[in-house]
Amino acid sequence: MTGNWDPKKRQAWLDRTRGERTAYDRRWRKANPDKARRTSREYRRRLAALHPDVVAARRHRDYWRNPHGMREKSRRANERARARLLELLGPFCGFCGETDDAVLQVDHRIPVGTRRHGGCAALWRRLRTGRDSPHNLQVLCANDHARKTRTEVELCRATRVVPEAKARIRVVKQTVAA
């Protein structure tokens, strides 16, 4: 229970046993499901903003308590987010025009990094919070996505070799000059 309470009511609440408070909370949540959902969501958001390490530890604990349930939950969230993204971007491949929903994937036009992004649910969350742009997303079939990724990886490797080679040449020039 949150809010501005007068001290007498607050003390009366704190004088109850934990079991009494829990029973009251359960009754209140059952009577006010929408408000309970909203307050729980607000609490989780505030907790995540203030203590991201606590949230990560809880997620880790919950995963190991029920790994199959957590995987199923994240799979369902990814499916819902993927459906929303396909609806937003259009249900066809941007390169070849493929429309089979089973092979369509969401891809970044400009790569955001080499780490895993966390699936469609995390991508949808980043879009909603403004940390990613729908203009940087496209729908591709699996074949075109693999071809594009392979090209990006080869390009990344080629550009990474050049600075290393330049550094070696610089060292050789310095040793020869000395």
- Write out the two tokens for 158: 């080629």
Rounded mean pLDDT of 132-151? Answer: 86
For residue 89, how many other CB atoms are within 10 A of its CB? 16
Question: For 18-53, what is each residue's pLDDT tens digit?
Answer: 888 899 999 999 999 999 999 998 988 888 888 888
Q: Do 139 and 94 contact (CB within 8 A), yes or no?
A: yes
Mean pLDDT score across all residues of the chain: 79
Q: What integer pLDDT is reported at residue 144 of this predicted model?
A: 92
Output the pTM of the full model. 0.49
> pLDDT-derived band of residue 140, with 50, 70 and 90 as boundaries?
very high
Which of 74-78, 126-130, 146-150 has the least mean pLDDT? 126-130
Q: Who wins on pLDDT, 154 or 129?
A: 154
Question: For 86-118, what is each residue's pLDDT tens digit?
Answer: 888 899 998 899 999 899 998 888 776 544 555
Is the pLDDT at 63 greater than 70? The verdict is yes
Question: For 150-167, what is each residue's pLDDT tens digit?
Answer: 887 777 666 665 566 556
- Of all residues in the chain, what percent are helix, strand and coil, respectively (each to 5)? 70, 5, 20
Q: How far is CA 126 from CA 43, 47, 85, 154, 176, in A?
A: 20, 18, 12, 27, 52
> pLDDT-derived band of residue 133, with 50, 70 and 90 as boundaries?
confident
